[in-house]
Amino acid sequence: MIMQDAGPALLGTAVVVAILIIRTAVREMREPGSARREWSVLRQRRVLAAGAGTALVLSAVGWAYSGPAVVPWAVLAGLLAARICSSGS
């Protein structure tokens, strides 16, 4: 079954997301209010468009090669692309 291939992809992306959350929490403990500032950029339309576009393109291209297992990684790549895009603003 194709959906069984998504299990390791979900686990891998969950680990990366957990690392990002822990990193944010450590920064928040050192500098209160930093987490809100760090993630507030995701409210900007340009940033959301860049992240969604990245996730959509990677999902579409990757689906042809590895099926649904690519979707969690594409969403994570979209999130990271949005954060990178926001660092310039």
Share of the chain above pLDDT 90, in %: 31
**Prediction pTM value:** 0.75
CA 4 – CA 25 distance, rounded (Å):
32
- The secondary structure of 17-70, three-state, reads HHHHHHHHHHHHHHCCCHHHHHHHHHHCHHHHHHHHHHHHHHHHHHHHHHHHHH
pLDDT tens column, 19-39: 989 999 999 999 999 888 888
Q: How confident is the model at residue 1 (pLDDT cuts 50, 70, 90)?
A: very low
What average pLDDT does this structure show over 26-53? 88
Q: Is 61 or 42 the better-scoring residue by pLDDT?
A: 61
Judged against a pLDDT cut of 80, whether residue 57 lies above it is answered with: yes
